[in-house]
Amino acid sequence: MLLVLAPIIFGVVAWLAWRNRAVRGCRWREDRTGDKGSLRMYRCSACGAEAFTATKGPPRSCKKDLGKSSL
């Protein structure tokens, strides 16, 4: 009984953690419609952030809190 119950509990906990956007890492997707010259636009499918980069490949850090400042 315990051998069946343990994987089910683990699976439910893993699914709940994956569902939470704060736990998941950013997954960048290239959006060519928003390119500006040599800058490539990327949109994160996990948090919804948008970023531009001139380097090869997607951004390496999360940009969801960029631009949010408290006065």
Q: What is the pLDDT along the chain (71 residues), one digit of tens a residue?
A: 778 898 899 988 888 776 665 556 778 888 888 888 889 999 888 778 888 888 888 887 777 777 665 55
Determine the distance from the C-alpha atom of residue 52 to the mean position of all C-alpha atoms in its chain, rounded to a whole number.
15
Given this model, what pLDDT does residue 24 score?
60
Domain boundaries, the chain: 25-56
Amino acid at 45: S
Q: Give the pTM.
A: 0.57
Instruction: Report which of 48, 42, 43 is spatially closest to residue 65, judged by C-alpha positions.
Output: 48
Residues with Cβ within 8 Å of 30's Cβ and at least 6 positions away in sequence, in order, are 40, 41, 42, 58
Can you give the pLDDT at residue 68? Answer: 63
